[in-house]
Structure 1
Amino acid sequence: MPSCDWFVVVARFHTQFTNMSIYCGEVLCMDTLANMLYSVAFILRPTYLFIFISLVHTQNIVDFQPSFITTTGPTVSAYLLGNSSGVSLNLKTVFPVNTTGSLPSPSCAPEVTQWAITKESLGKAAIKVQLKLNQSLRLCVDNDTNTDCCSKPLCVLETLQLSACVDGVPQASLLIQARIHALLLPANVGSDNASLIPNQVYQPLGSCPCDLTFRACDVRCCCDKDCSKELLRLFLPYCLPGPFGGAVPPVPEYQCSEKSSQNSPDWFPFLCVHSPIENNPHLGLFYHGNVIPSKPTLSFQRPQLSAPMPFIDYIQGNPIFTLSDQYLTIPQRIFGRCVNGAPLAFLENVNVNCVTWLSTCSNGSPLHTVEEDLRANVKNGKGGSVMVDVIDQLVTDLSPFISESDDAVLSDGRLVCENVTLALDYKFYWMENSITSIILTRTVGTVSFRGNVTLTTKYSAVFLNGVVTSESISGNPGYQVGRPVIGGFINTLGNNTNNNTDLIQKMTISIWKTVNDGLCSTADQKPLLFGMNSTSGCLLQISKQNLSRCDPLRDAVSSLQEAFITATHVAKIGNPDVTTLRDWLNVTFEVDTKNSSPASMTSNSCSHIPSHQHIHIRSRITGMVEGEPQRQIWAVHVSYSRSIWTLECGGGDLFSCEDEEETQLFPITSSVTFTEVPVNTGPPKTRFQINFTEYDCERNDVCWPELAFPLTPAYTGEPYSQALAKGMILVFFFITASILGTPWKQIREAWNTAAL
């Protein structure tokens, strides 16, 4: 079946030829010709528009395509086909005739409308006509003096008639039905001002956590005060559910603060749950804060919210502040991009590289720093302050920092930038919960380049325990997740210095870190972090000449893999003692059981290549210190997966297999896996223990043994004697309330009734 547009075009052909036939008196002949064109149009679809334009141009006929448009926007476009010489356009608003309901005939009389007409010639026989609304679609507000707005949500509802006139006679017309609604914009335009968030320990994150944009309406956030009633109607059925959308469940009825005069039993004041209203269980979804403990007050009194305590001590993860209550910042990588003003956190090490495309000299931070700005007064966490000691280091070898592009050679002249900050290295010395001293090493240099250059700046911050330089640790005593695994080897030179005790020389265990092009020649290394499973690698360029000698190739790949793990021992804990072997364990390496390496299968392949290195670390939790689990490394095993490397010659590309020096890329990978071993599995459970869960508090929502929890030895909140005494007093009050309350009264009335 032909599509609708083809039918319309052919119908227009048929109408034009029929009208011409009546004028010429050859009805049968022209009607037959129209039917022939009707069939030809479906066969020669790509040429129908060209035929029609040529025909109307020959007959001095103009026509709009399309002839009827329904629009909901402020812009309308159409095409006027035919001989457009001497054609003028006239637009007017039309209304249907009351008696017949039809629209009036086209007219060339001028009329003023709120639409502007523009024309663009597309050739000798086509014109693009565009109508644009000259009115703002903003909805009027109360007492609005500006008339350029919409008084109702349905801003424009009218029918337009565009006529193409020649010498005041309409030749073609276009009907436009406009139905345009006003734009619903927020009353307040959003700004870049930051919202003030109160202290989350003492106040929840607002009653509307989904209100993310300041002074602007957030979509689907029905609790946003910036959303007008018109905007809320758009997404009211699709509001964000749960606490994030502000739908926090009401306070439970068992809370003491929810006592009401109706439907409240007599024993409610004695068995209600008393908890501060600030202990909202949904706060943990938005911040890591403290829990406000309950104060021993009377049950009938509402607790008073204590004032926030002044900031004194630093704890891990707290931001570091200056004396002016500003964050101490350093460029850091967040979501894959470098942020210049990221705050430093206490006891959180930082080591990032930021790449900048440099074409001109920069006079601002962070590429150009001022010593007065870096030498800041920092709060030490004990009520005092510590001055940042800045040490400048000048470098002349800029190869680790810059790399010029290929088009730099074609540029004329060199640009010299002096005192460019290439690296900022902070050293924080701390003791207990305070900072004792801060040393900043600023590396500067003169960058001279031609054209564009890629500048790599390095930023680091390390926290060292003590008042003098000391080695960083990875836990105290157990390992902390995300800290480096400490390796080492026996230093035989120190055997005679400490009562014949072997000394351990610390070193880093690393894995691959791919940079730039991913080749092994440019790859870097990154430390192995405790508890973080990872897989990394690089690409090695191998040619046919390399594959012809498999033994040297295996040795080269083995050397690359073994270079990252030169340590023979690994520390069991995060702060090991280097003077004793009790804090260290041996690293187990896989031994190749084959006596000799197998020969290559072909001249273009080698087998038994140690392409993958796997480090398996087993750890376990040995105890708790202040509620924190202490993790220790129990075993370290290093193994290798061997593969076959073969040159790819498929697809008709035999050149790589014939040329001795043509290279292909082969992957070399390394991975690390951490497995936590249970401390004590105990005897296997019986079938009864597995299936019977009624009294198992860990697998059952209702735990009957915990009904008298304060009276059991498992309760350690206070001495057992005090808990037992309070429990007996509670039971006494419960019995008294039962005797004097409503149940005993009903029993007494029933007894008296039965006695009568």
Structure 2
Amino acid sequence: EVNQMANVVDLSLSRQITCVLLFISLAHTQNIVVFQPSYLTTTGPTVTAHLLGNTSDISLNLRAVSPSNTTGSIGSPSCVSEDTEWVLTREQVGKTAVRVQLRLDKSLRLCGENETDTDCCPKPLCVLETLQVSACVGGTPRASLLIQAKIYALLVPANAGSDNKTVIPNQVYQPLGSCPCDLTFSACDIRCCCDKDCSTEDLKLFVSHCFPGPFGGQVSPAPDYQCSVQSSENSPDWFPFLCVNSPPENNPYLGLFYQGNTITPKPGPSFQSPVLSPPVPVNVYIQGSPIFTLNDQYFTIPQKVLGQCVNNAPVAFLKNFEVKCVTLLRSCPTGPPLQTLPTDLRIKVKNGQGGDVIVDVINEVAIDSSQFISSTDSSSDEGLVCENVTLALDYKFYWKGNGITNITLTLTVGTITLNSSVALTTRYSAVFLNGEGMGEPNSGNPGYQVGRPVIAGIVDTLENDTGSVQRASINLWKPESVGLCSTAEMKPVLFGENSTSGCLLSVSRQNLTECDLLRVLLLSRTALMTATYVAKSGNPDPLTMTDWVNISFVTQNSSATMEDTTSSCYGIPSHQHIHVWSLITGAVEGMPQRDIRALQVSYSLSHWTLDCGGGDVSLCVEPMETQLFPLTSSVTFTDIPVNTEPPKTRFQINFTEYDCNRNDVCWPELAFPITKYYTGEPYSQSLAKGLILVFFFITASILGTPWRQIRQAWK
């Protein structure tokens, strides 16, 4: 039924829309114009209507009209305009529609007693007239619009800007009075019908919207349990015995109109931006503490906070980062960070050991700025040229102990041509180096922590033929915006978190004619990792090879071996899966320590072919026409269970009839309470209770009927 009703509503709505469109089309073809609506009643200073039809040669005329005393009719439209207090404007909103708007060119302020200004309302009913808008072509009226205007003046107190308020006496000794809503002295309060300052004309404006109850000076109605409410005709049986006699002065609302001792208000929450306290500099730097300048201010570099780029973000000690910020430029930048002089970047920074270091700036000019421009809206080469635009800020902090020994900054600038708008991608990075080596963060101590990156590396042979492992990354796809592989980035594999991601690759018919080259290209692109070893623990030693495990690579064969064709390729490595096996090797302070025992990377092969169905054969005809194919990557973590059960005996392996897990009848459970598998109470107690039960069973058997018969027969 709901579907049928929805279909009926859709059909009705479509019929109405069709009728309106047919009418507009008919009006356009037959030069017919009409106002929609043709009659309006307004209580405000602005009126809007639409004129539909062929409006190319239409002129609009406005005049004030009045009904005839004999017939009561307005009369025929006229193409002669008259001077009124209204301003007529028109706006073309389509080929067959014009928006007509009337605005009252007069103040709605109520005139004072001795005021001579004519731009005000002498009476509360400021405007009461009938207007006629005529649409004419060459002096001949084609359509008319009637507007009945009835507008009241705005009630603005004469002392609205003053601080004069009604003086309320001490409510402990004197009642508030009969009009609590009278808050403004010598002025009429809107909707306060008991205000003595309101005239009769004022009360007519809001007489039907007065404040109800005691707040508006009206006593609330008596409740049903009052004896004075019920009468003898309609009173219930219980009424004479259970009604309440209470004077009207005992109203619970009257307690709201009494004022006791003055209480100082406590400061509440504010929506204004809080005043931040100045930063407190530290004596020595520790990992994660902010770096300070010589004037005790935060040393800031643009960074990403909650996914958004912040220009003034504090730099933390020993925290490496690299971010990219996209800025839409419509004009040349004039301030930092996109327009910065090298002298402004040479800042004195506290070294954490009582001294300071100066940022050493190295200038570099980018010859090709196209790698920093991600998109442009115009194809023209002519435009506004912006010079010395900051493209990258790469900081290197050299540290030793708890201090900073040196800071170098590589400032990369370039020239950008602005056509209409350009999306500029700038790079900001900070690297902390201990000597010449970069401080690498660990992922646990010693076991991996869930959510920390998996540490991998490649072997670098030193001069003395000893191997050292350099850190490398294991990544997954991180698609952005439209999800194309050309704009996608990579994200590290986090320990203990299964994940699946992918992107879309544009492949043309020409690419599918060279399948071998496409496989090699995709194998290098789907190889989201350059590492050959993975660290067993979260804090591996780069010089100890026993802390690392070889990564195994497996390529899955396709289900069927088929040959490539002109528009299809088989055996495409489109999916990379990373499988990690971990094991709990111990516990430190009650926390389990997990190590990686093996890591396998496998590639799944698929069949790519162009889809020319649906009548669109351009993909199979045009060699450069592209189609999107998915590239995916995933990671799975598997915990190796720890076997704590004792090994099975040869009897348990060979004879399964006594195995309680494989048979319905379990003979070992016959004496379950006295076996070691019963854990409801201590073994000594269960054994003692079991022996007592056996004793009672034997005693009952000896003293029972069988033994008595045997003794009688023996005698």
TM-score relative to the length of structure 2: 0.52
CA distances 1:33-53 after superposition (whole Å, capped 9, x unpaired): xxxxxxxx9999568868998
2:556–2:604 contact (8 Å) kept in structure 1: no
Query: What is the distance in 1 between the residues matched to 2:150 and 2:451?
Result: 62
- Among 543, 567, 578, the residue aligned to 1:579: 543
- Among 468, 480, 487, the residue aligned to 1:503: 468
- Partner residue of 2:525? 560
- Correspondences of 1:47-196 after superposition (within 5 Å): 66-71=37-42, 74-78=45-49, 89-91=62-64, 115-118=86-89, 130-134=101-105, 159-163=128-132, 174-176=146-148
Q: How many angstroms does 1:537 deviate by?
A: 3.4
Q: Secondary structure at the match of 1:566?
A: coil
2:394–2:428 contact (8 Å) kept in structure 1: yes
Q: How many angstroms does 1:415 deviate by?
A: 4.5
Q: AA paired with 1:75? A: T
- Among 593, 605, 608, the residue aligned to 2:568: 605
Q: How many angstroms does 1:178 deviate by?
A: 5.5
- Among 404, 410, 431, the residue aligned to 1:442: 410
- Partner residue of 1:207? none
| Counterpart check, 1:390 vs 2:361 | yes
Q: How many angstroms does 1:425 deviate by?
A: 0.7
Query: What is the distance in 2 between the residues matched to 1:183 and 1:678?
Result: 81
CA distances 1:468-497 after superposition (whole Å, capped 9, x unpaired): 643422345355677654322344566744
- Among 305, 311, 315, the residue aligned to 1:340: 311
Q: How many angstroms does 1:613 deviate by?
A: 0.8
- Partner residue of 2:629? 667
Tell me: CA distance 1:327–1:86, structure 2 relative to 1, closer, same or farther (3 Å).
closer
2:369–2:416 contact (8 Å) kept in structure 1: no
- Correspondences of 1:162-561 after superposition (within 5 Å): 162-163=131-132, 174-176=146-148, 312=282, 319-333=290-304, 338-356=309-327, 362-379=333-350, 385-396=356-367, 398=369, 400-401=371-372, 411=382, 415=385, 417=387, 419-429=388-398, 434-437=402-405, 439-447=407-415, 456=424, 458-464=426-432, 466=434, 469-475=437-443, 477=445, 484-491=453-460, 496-497=465-466, 502-512=467-477, 526=490, 528-531=492-495, 533=499, 535-543=501-509, 546-547=512-513, 550=515, 553-561=518-526
Tell me: CA distance 1:387–1:114, structure 2 relative to 1, closer, same or farther (3 Å).
farther
- Partner residue of 1:189? none
Q: Secondary structure at the match of 1:567?
A: coil
CA distances 1:218-256 after superposition (whole Å, capped 9, x unpaired): xxxxxxxxxxxxxxxxxxxxxxxxxxxxxxxxxxxxxxx
Q: How many angstroms does 1:424 deviate by?
A: 0.6
Query: What is the distance in 2 between the residues matched to 1:148 and 1:320?
Result: 65
Q: Secondary structure at the match of 1:639?
A: strand
Sequence identity (%): 40
Q: How many angstroms does 1:612 deviate by?
A: 0.9
- Partner residue of 2:620? 657
Tell me: CA distance 1:668–1:78, structure 2 relative to 1, closer, same or farther (3 Å).
closer
Q: How many angstroms does 1:119 deviate by?
A: 6.9
Q: AA paired with 1:162? A: L
1:538–1:669 contact (8 Å) kept in structure 2: yes
Q: How many angstroms does 1:567 deviate by?
A: 1.8
Q: AA paired with 2:604? A: S
- Partner residue of 2:656? none
Q: How many angstroms does 1:528 deviate by?
A: 1.9
Query: What is the distance in 1 between the residues matched to 2:428 and 2:100?
Result: 62
Q: How many angstroms does 1:73 deviate by?
A: 5.5
Q: Secondary structure at the match of 2:525?
A: helix
Tell me: CA distance 1:131–1:557, structure 2 relative to 1, closer, same or farther (3 Å).
closer
CA distances 1:506-544 after superposition (whole Å, capped 9, x unpaired): 333344566899776x56763524257452335152426
CA distances 1:185-219 after superposition (whole Å, capped 9, x unpaired): xxxxxxxxxxxxxxxxxxxxxxxxxxxxxxxxxxx
- Partner residue of 1:13? none
CA distances 1:596-636 after superposition (whole Å, capped 9, x unpaired): 97123765333332111122345577788899987654542
Tell me: CA distance 1:422–1:638, structure 2 relative to 1, closer, same or farther (3 Å).
same
- Partner residue of 1:589? 553
Query: What is the distance in 2 between the residues matched to 1:669 and 1:405?
Result: 27
Q: Secondary structure at the match of 1:472?
A: coil
Query: What is the distance in 2 between the residues matched to 1:611 and 1:469?
Result: 37
Q: Secondary structure at the match of 1:504?
A: strand
- Partner residue of 1:640? 603
Q: Secondary structure at the match of 1:590?
A: strand
Tell me: CA distance 1:87–1:603, structure 2 relative to 1, closer, same or farther (3 Å).
closer
Query: What is the distance in 1 between the residues matched to 2:473 and 2:315?
Result: 24
Q: AA paired with 1:487? A: A
2:500–2:635 contact (8 Å) kept in structure 1: yes
Query: What is the distance in 1 between the residues matched to 2:74 and 2:544?
Result: 105
Q: How many angstroms does 1:400 deviate by?
A: 3.7
1:349–1:460 contact (8 Å) kept in structure 2: no
Q: Secondary structure at the match of 1:558?
A: helix
Query: What is the distance in 1 between the residues matched to 2:47 and 2:25?
Result: 26
Structure 2: runs of 5 or more not aligned: 1-18, 111-116, 137-142, 157-268, 646-715
Tell me: CA distance 1:511–1:80, structure 2 relative to 1, closer, same or farther (3 Å).
closer
Query: What is the distance in 1 between the residues matched to 2:592 and 2:109?
Result: 60
Q: How many angstroms does 1:137 deviate by?
A: 9.3
Query: What is the distance in 2 between the residues matched to 1:461 and 1:85?
Result: 65
Tell me: CA distance 1:491–1:546, structure 2 relative to 1, closer, same or farther (3 Å).
same
Aligned positions, number? 488
CA distances 1:128-157 after superposition (whole Å, capped 9, x unpaired): 753214468999xxxxxx99999xxxx999
